[in-house]
Amino acid sequence: MPRNFTLFTGQWADLPFEKVAELAAGWGYDGLEIAVSGDHLDAWRWDDDDYIAGRLDILERHGLKVWAISNHLKGQAVCDDPIDFRHQSIVGERVWGDGDPEGVRTRAAEEMMHTARLAQRLGVKTVVGFTGSSIWQYVAMFPPVPAHVIDDGYRDFADRWNPILDVFDECGVRFAHEIHPSEIAYDYWSTVRALEAVGHREAFGINWDPSHMMWQDIDPVSLIWDFKDRIYHVDCKDTKLRITGRNTRLGSHLPWGDPRRGWDFVSTGRGDVPWEASFRALAAIGYDGPISVEWEDAGMDRLQGAPEALEFLKRFDFDPPETSFDAAFQQ
């Protein structure tokens, strides 16, 4: 059965939603993973019937569907500490308000609740996003960090996200957290602990994006298998590694695309992600959700990268055999 391929609109939020829909349809995408960003989606208008109808009408006119929406930017502010100038540039005026940190966190949490309601109104079952983290700043563990500080960080995450997840449950929607540095779950064991922190409730799962795993030396294929009951969504972004002894994993505060970096995000198919093995693993666990292309590449134009990525990934959209390859030997 053919998979549905979508384009994540987060990196296209500078363009009108209608234009992104037109481009994606022209390239052959089946739908969009729509970001709550730019004019693409406004979570605070979840109860506006005309607004919802208008968004769906744009998709229908271009022959597109939506299976997931995302709200990475506001989710980031739910748990982050500190809240500072970086957040002001991403959360928008409504959530930023007067900039009081706890106020920003509270309004960000409220928007995440509205995002679940918006997803329900759009007929969508999955919201993709970030959680933020009050303890990411301690990732180097020096100066020394007492264990209770880390424990408190996971408790803070659970305290802030459980009420949000309650609304997700009420709406029949799941949250797919993107394993990502700067989040509460950024690698394998931090993901285990995050799931434990919320009691393994079904509303909280994983957005599988291998690009963040590659430079941390996480095996993206094994992660699919080990968290097979929690893979709620798939984003496809690639990473090219250049660990040379001078070029390092932490990036040396160098900008994207700088050849002195130890790694860079690149357009899907141009990096080191083991895509075929990953697609075979996704098939093995029975993942039947959309495959979403997240375009990020500092050295390549997105108008070339987005259609090329779709063509590349479709190579792995093959059906499993109807009979075992060794069936002939069992006569």
101-136 pLDDT, tens per residue? Answer: 999 999 999 999 999 999 999 999 999 999 999 999
pLDDT digits (tens, 9 = 90+) for 283-304: 999 999 999 999 999 999 999 9
pLDDT digits (tens, 9 = 90+) for 53-102: 999 999 999 999 999 999 999 999 999 999 999 999 999 999 999 999 99
* pLDDT of 176 higher than 70: yes
- Average pLDDT over the chain reads 97
What's the confidence (pLDDT) of residue 238? 98
Question: Which of 314, 303, 325 is closest to 275 using CA atoms?
Answer: 314
Q: Are 69 and 128 in contact (CB under 8 A)?
A: yes
Amino acid at 31: G
Question: Which of 185, 175, 287, 274 is closest to 229 using CA atoms?
Answer: 287
pLDDT digits (tens, 9 = 90+) for 182-191: 999 999 999 9
What's the confidence (pLDDT) of residue 1? 59
Amino acid at 214: M
What's the confidence (pLDDT) of residue 326? 67
What residues contact 12, with CB distance under 8 A and at least 6 apart?
Answer: 20, 23, 38, 40, 302
Question: Which domain does 126 fall in, by range?
Answer: 5-330
What's the confidence (pLDDT) of residue 243? 96
* pLDDT of 322 higher than 80: no
Q: Are 262 and 279 in contact (CB under 8 A)?
A: no
What's the confidence (pLDDT) of residue 298? 97
Q: Are 128 and 178 in contact (CB under 8 A)?
A: yes
pLDDT-based confidence at 203, cuts 50/70/90? very high
What's the confidence (pLDDT) of residue 320? 78
Dihedral (Cα; 128, 133, 137, 138), 10-degree rounding: -120
Average pLDDT over residues 17-29: 98
Question: Which of 290, 38, 72, 313 is closest to 178 using CA atoms?
Answer: 72
Number of domains in the chain: 1
Instruction: Indicate whether this model's pTM tops 0.75.
Output: yes
What's the confidence (pLDDT) of residue 116? 99
Question: Which of 33, 57, 58, 54 is closest to 45 using CA atoms?
Answer: 54
What's the confidence (pLDDT) of residue 323? 72
* pLDDT of 228 higher than 70: yes
Residue 205 sits in a domain of what CATH number? 3.20.20.150
Q: Kindly report the backbone phi and psi dihedral angles of residue 291, in degrees, each rounded to the nearest multiple of 5, phi listed first.
A: -110, 115
What residues contact 265, with CB distance under 8 A and at least 6 apart?
Answer: 211, 237, 238, 239, 256, 271, 296, 297, 298
What's the confidence (pLDDT) of residue 325? 62
pLDDT digits (tens, 9 = 90+) for 307-320: 999 999 999 998 87
